[in-house]
Amino acid sequence: MIKKKFSFITFNIQGVPRKSSKIVERLNQLALNLNQQTVDLINLQDVFTYQQLTILKNNLTSYPYCIFQPAVFGPKGGLVTFSKHPIKSHKYYSFGFSFHFLKQFFRNILSDKGFLVSYFNDYLVINTHFYFASLNKEKTYHHQIKKLSTIVNRTTKKTILTGDFNIPKNHHLYSSLTNSLNLINPFPQNLSPTFHQEFLSPDQKGYCLDHIFISPNLNPIIQNYLFQQPIISKSNNHGFLSDHLAIKTIISF
């Protein structure tokens, strides 16, 4: 039996500041670099405005299919999926606003974080971005984990889940996440940070915050990080396309 390969990227593109000449330059270069990747699908987080979405669409010419849930200022939740193959349908699920922290209230209410599900013939791909809160405010994370796992665990289709979960891989909340899902991390031994150290204070440690999960009946082949080195002028975002690294993964059915 010939196995079908499927490749994908997940990438938080750091869509802030929402409007500036520097972000336009950075996103143009980011999209050009992504367009050179030979993958089937790209899940993006932090696409906050329609201007940012237009920049991505204009440069991601190898990926003609683009889905997102429209909101007032841009894609809802900042979530956008680009694909080389037709997407049958899609649905957006919001995490809602039942949180007790207020510091990022206005940013959160503008983005309305959740997860975006892309349905293909025999599988589905989920793109998510969790709300950030102090890790000791576990109620925030458990609420999101429960909402996500309820949808993920009721499907009978092969499933790929990617995104920025804002949970380090070595934190007990990550165990809560994995125990709640009927999916597996295809590369559990990979603990490398997915956030550039240049955006942290000297006493802070980088963590693996971006994760990929797949159905147990899918076969992992390889995974690597993209855009680890500066690409643009160092006066712009320390030279990096984003404060996050992109993760590229290849699996087979």
Average pLDDT over residues 77-86: 97
239 and 199 Cβ atoms separated by less than 8 Å = no
User: Do β-strands 41-45 and 5-12 pair in parallel, antiparallel, or remain unpaired?
Assistant: parallel
pLDDT of residue 202: 86
CA distance 69 to 136: 31
Does the N-terminal peptide bond of residue 17 adopt cis geometry, omega within 30 degrees of 0? yes
**pLDDT at 18 (0 to 100):** 66
Strand duo 89-94 + 219-226: pairing: unpaired
Q: Which helix (H) or strand (E) holds 221?
A: strand 219-226
Per-domain boundaries in the chain: 5-252
Question: What is the rounded CA–CA span in Å between residue 249 and residue 221?
Answer: 8
CATH superfamily of 5-252: Endonuclease/exonuclease/phosphatase (3.60.10.10)
Which range has the worst mean pLDDT, 10-24, 102-116, 201-215, 221-235?
102-116
Q: How many other C-beta atoms can be found within 10 angstroms of the C-beta atom of residue 51?
A: 17
When pLDDT is averaged across residues 68-82 and rounded to a whole number, the result is 95
pLDDT for the residue numbered 110: 56
Give every CB contact of residue 33 below 8 A, 6+ residues apart in sequence: 226, 227, 231, 241
**How far apart are alpha carbons 70 and 25 in whole angstroms?**
24
Q: What is the share, in percent, of the chain residues with pLDDT greater than 90? A: 79
Q: Give 162's strand partners.
A: 127, 212
Please say if the pLDDT value at position 102 is more than 50: no
Pairing, β 246-252 against β 65-67: unpaired
Per-residue pLDDT, 206: 85
Q: First and final CA of the chain: distance in angstroms?
A: 10
- Model confidence pLDDT, tens digit, residues 11-27: 999 998 766 789 999 99
Q: Whose structure tokens read 């293909």?
A: 120
pLDDT tens string 213-229: 999 999 999 999 999 99
Q: What's the pTM value of the predicted model, to 2 decimals? A: 0.94
Across 92-96, 125-129, 139-143, which has the greatest mean pLDDT? 125-129
Confidence of residue 97 (pLDDT cuts 50, 70, 90): low
DSSP, collapsed to helix, strand or coil, labels residue 157 as coil
Average pLDDT over residues 88-106: 71
